[in-house]
Chains A and B, each alone.
Chain A
Amino acid sequence: MLKRTMLGVLLFACPLYAADNQWVLAQSTLTYHVSHPLHSSDGVSRAAKGKGICHEATCEFLIAAPVKSFDSGDSNRDLHMLQVTRGGQFPVVSVRARLPEAALVAPTIHLDIEIEFAGQTAHYKQVPFTLALQGNEAKLSGTIPATLSDFKIDPPSLLTVPIKNEMPVHVEMTWRSQ
């Protein structure tokens, strides 16, 4: 009995002393929303890749997707968005977040997020995300309150009226512990 208890303690304790705890993005949906007085649309990408490393009680997560992978259902609009977001020169949008490892248990976590997009970097503080842990998987979802001006993007216009500056990005991710 004592041996089993000792073994259990050792098995539980070992990950704490392991060099790094790593996560890999198993599934994701990134959706941007843009709106105009006459029309609104959503662009969806499921092509994001991501990794996470927890080291010395701090976790860093990096997610990135090709800008051209966002699909709004209209190829003409997608190419126009690719152009205005300077996707030819900066083909990847990346999202980086850091948080204490201990925070990865609460149902709602607040992330400090850094987004590189269109050749610009924007920071968002304390963005709320819901977290659901299932086995070795963690499901995260939340909305980043991005705007076009954060990335110095000239708003495209319809009938000479520009789209709204707000471009919230809804993120749904499933991370798998390695």
Chain B
Amino acid sequence: MGQKMRLSLSPAILLVCLLVAFPLAAQVTGASLSGTVKGPLGAVIADAKVSAKNVANGQVTSTQTNSEGIFNLPNLSPGEYEVSVTAQGFSPKTATVALANEGTQSLDLALDNRLSLQDLGLETHGSAADQARLDRRSHMLKVHQRLGLITTVPLVATVILGSGAGGRNTSSTDRNFHAGMGAVTAGMYVTTASFAIFAPKIGETQTRGPIRLHKALAWIHGPGMILTPILGAMAYSQKSNGEKVHGLASAHAPVAYVTAIAYGAAILSVSVKF
């Protein structure tokens, strides 16, 4: 019974299949054009009007992009087409495409903004080299900052040890320890300073803000850091010869104190910043 039913239904099913298949076959004749319309930054543009004009006969076929920026123009005759796209807020765009006899040709279009940075007359191109110089400057100044903070440790230690190095009842061990710590401080100071001195300079930058005081103080602690060890060496020599520290060498301690204070102030001047 069931088998008979299936056999009797077969011609009907065949007929339905044929009826359905013919329109499908008709739709695929000719060519179609599809693609996506996007903005200058790659965002899809919905409701953009897309028109394809057959160059040979002037016939125009139009459609609009859907919410995903996709358009489809089916049933086009083969040939060359001028495809134009317009969308609100964007400059119109035209492209030429040749369609083959059958099949779907893909054409993605990117629209430009009506206004560009060139319209404003601004220099928009930077360079990797400029950025590399900025990166190098920042890196070197960060090292300068960290080393500067670390240098305060031997500097404070040297100042403290100095009180036991210059008096009447001081030993050569105290003096040696003070001198050694002073040498460490001077070495670290020079290293710290070199990271600031050799950091790349960025042209046309006027110094403003706390960094001006920081740089001004360097004119005090910089010479002080050169003078202090020289005066210290003179004082060391006099003491080692059993003499009382005299002459220029007696300025060793005051110069060292001024240098240390200027150094501390330089750190404080740029501490409240990022």
Contact = CB atoms under 8 A, between A and B. Distances in A.
A79 B205 contact: yes
A80 B274 contact: yes
Given A91-B126, A158-B273, A60 B89 contact: yes
B273 A55 contact: no
Interface stretch (A5-13, A45-53, A142-150): A45-53
Contacts of B206: 75
Interface string A4-47: 00000000000000000000000000000000101100000000
B115 interface: yes
B114 A87 contact: no
B145 to A, nearest CB: 11
Nearest to B125: A91
Contacts of A78: 205, 208
Interface residues of B, number: 41
Nearest to B115: A62
Contacts of A156: 274
A58 B138 contact: no
Interface in B117-164: 117, 119-135, 137-138, 141
Given A71-B208, A77-B209, A92 B122 contact: yes
Contacts of A136: none
Contact of B115 (A53, A56, A80, A158): A53
A82 B134 contact: yes
Contacts of B113: 60, 62, 96
A77 B205 CA distance: 12
B126 A64 contact: no
B57 interface: no
A72 B125 CA distance: 24
Interface in B160-185: none
Contact of A76 (B124, B127, B132, B211): B211
Contacts of B273: 39, 74, 76-77, 158
A77 B114 CA distance: 36
Contacts, number: 121
Contacts of A84: 138
For chain A, give the interface size range: 35 or more
A39 B134 CA distance: 24
A80 to B, nearest CB: 6
B187 to A, nearest CB: 26
A39 B272 contact: yes
Nearest to A20: B114
Given A56-B88, A62-B119, A90-B126, A74 B202 contact: no
Contacts of A76: 141, 209-211, 270, 273
A88 B120 contact: no
Given A53-B115, A158-B273, A83 B205 contact: no
A89 B205 contact: no
A94 B120 CA distance: 11
A156 B142 CA distance: 11
Contacts of B129: 88
B207 interface: yes
A114 B41 contact: yes
A158 B274 CA distance: 4
A91 B126 CA distance: 6
A51 B207 CA distance: 32
30 contacts: A39-B273, A51-B120, A55-B114, A62-B117, A64-B122, A66-B122, A71-B208, A74-B209, A74-B211, A75-B205, A75-B211, A79-B137, A79-B202, A80-B274, A82-B202, A83-B131, A83-B137, A88-B127, A88-B134, A88-B135, A89-B126, A89-B127, A89-B131, A91-B124, A121-B41, A157-B274, A158-B272, A158-B273, A159-B271, A163-B274
Given A79-B205, A87-B126, A96-B115, 4 more contacts: A72-B209, A79-B134, A88-B135, A90-B126
